[in-house]
Amino acid sequence: MKGFEVFQTMENEMQKKRILSGIQPSGDLTLGSYLGAIRNWAALADEYDCYYMLADMHTITVRQVPAELRRHTLTQVAAYIASGLDPEKNTLFVQSHVPAHAQLAWVLDCYTMFGELSRMTQFKDKSAKNADNINAGLFTYPALMAADILIYQADLVPVGGDQKQHVELCRDVATRFNGIYGDVFKLPEPYIPKVGARVMSLTSPTSKMSKSDKDQNGCVYMLERPEDIMRKFKKAVTDSEASVHYDPESKPGVSNLMQIYSVATGRTFEEIEREFAGHGYGDFKAAVGEAVVELLRPIREETERLLADKAYLEGVYRAGAERASRVADRTVAKVYKKVGFLPR
């Protein structure tokens, strides 16, 4: 009976569409990471075959403190699980633990055009922020991202709107490779949630919330203390109208807070407008802060509990790497054969 159940599970996974996504462990996870990505991932496990990585290989395009990178990576594994990503239902793994990513990335480097890489918006942005370290990895990392996706034959890639360009490049590279060697790679589609896909900075609401922001008052972290979260929301930028209604063009600060509140509470924008009709921004910002504190409290507490059990976390990421490698190695073997490499 046990063997039948295992077979049935494998058959069900084969029938599901596969999803691949990941976040760099370059710092503490942000509220934007949670509302825009991780929270949505947790709801997908029953419908999709889900692979979620900690993209540590991408992280080193910017200089990291090694001990801090290791700490952030382990904390992020714990935060993934605390956020609802059941390791029994999702494949959770560290990117560098699956060598096939680097192996396929080199092959795809040779099928990605210089002009394509030079047009990547994020390369331009990161080059401007890291003018003293514009390295080759920073330039070619979209090819590694393509390898991350194509190596698992992913159907869908949950990304923010700012990453859609990379999925398009991935499709272009896969199409080029398939045109030469036949049907090798599945062409992935971006999966962009309609609500909460792009959480903006609290102090600069026309910019995405980011852990790399110089003004840390604009960024809320998933594991941050409640009093610090409240302080940041009370300082959030709004406008002079003292009217809570959704208008991203003329009221970006208020609209960003409304989106955060909507995702945190389940209320619609219309319900939020009615709730705060006649109230000042002080009441509104305090309510948003309290909703976020309560949303993140159980995640923070569970993350702290899991970090006290490092043996369990190691077991999770090792098992995840083994599962991921089984799929990734098959793809690399097929690609190596297609391009003419002699088998070992």
Kindly list the catalytic residues: 126, 208, 211
Strand arrangement, sheet containing 48-54: 90-94, 48-54, 17-23, 156-158, 189-191
Encoded tokens for 334: 């097929």
Q: Give CA separation, 330 vs 53, 109, 334, in Å.
A: 18, 19, 6
Q: Which of 95, 73, 92, 83 is nearest to 35 (CA)?
A: 83
> Residue 281's CB: how many other CB atoms inside 10 A?
20
Measured CA to CA in angstroms, residue 80 lies from 233, 276, 317 at distances of 24, 33, 11
- Token reading at 99: 């060598």
* Gap between the Cα atoms of 4 and 297, Å rounded: 41
